[in-house]
Amino acid sequence: MVGNNLKPQAKTIEFWFDFGSNYSYLTTMRIEQAASSLGVTVLWRPFLLGPIFKTFGWETSPFVLQKAKGEYVWKDMARECQKYGLAWKQPTNFPRASVLPLRVALSGADESWVAEFCRQVMTTNFVDDQDVDSTDVIRSILDRMGLPSEQILAAALSDKNKLALRHQTEAAQAKGIFGAPTFFVGYEMYWGNDRLDDALQYASSNNG
């Protein structure tokens, strides 16, 4: 993948994320505006990070498994949120399950509301410190956005969409994704919120 000289056909960036990922929160809240300023379109790619961690023999986030790394990350998150002007509250439950909102995001990945939905879910997790895997919570977000919540939830919970999220996660693994957020511009992979600007610059200068 990395090093392949083939170029994508349009100014796009794939944004692979999990709602339980704290660094994905930073990216979710700023990627659309940053991409728009460069004429780049964001392709939303929700996936489950947990199954990928399990292939490494990890049952949870490395930020939990490694105490020193975890302590550093929460200090880093406070600094980064201050830098970006984002609200922040360290979640009392980390990493939170996020299967339901990921299913909703996948079902609506090509809809105009997906970016705002993702921002709302991330805010619910990392600012409001609420359970984002709750049907009531997700329904409330969709209702607040003026969307047909029951219709969207039904589509998200269909067997077809459940299988689609599994396949999306398998695709992430096949692409070599090992963490979130991860970005692809054509065949080039960038990992981490701190590489978003580099990925967008590459997308802007090399697409089309």
Report if residue 3 sits inside a domain. no
Query: CA-CA distance, 53 to 107, in Å (whole number)?
Result: 24
Does residue 140 have an active-site annotation? no
Report if residue 7 sits inside a domain. no
- Per-residue model confidence as pLDDT tens for the chain (208 residues): 333 444 445 699 999 999 999 999 999 999 999 999 999 999 999 999 999 988 878 777 777 667 888 799 999 999 999 999 999 999 999 999 999 999 999 999 999 999 999 999 999 999 999 999 999 999 999 999 999 999 999 999 999 999 999 999 999 999 999 999 999 999 999 999 999 999 999 999 975 4
| Catalytic residue, candidates 21, 24, 61, 98 | 21
Alpha-helix residue ranges (DSSP H) falling in the chain: 22-28, 31-37, 49-55, 62-65, 67-84, 99-107, 114-126, 135-144, 149-156, 159-174, 196-206
The string of DSSP codes covering 38-84 is: TT-EEEEEE--HHHHHHHTT-SS-HHHHSHHHHHHHHHHHHHHHHHH
Report if residue 131 sits inside a domain. yes
Domain that holds residue 37: 12-206
Q: What is the CATH number of the domain that holds 143?
A: 3.40.30.10
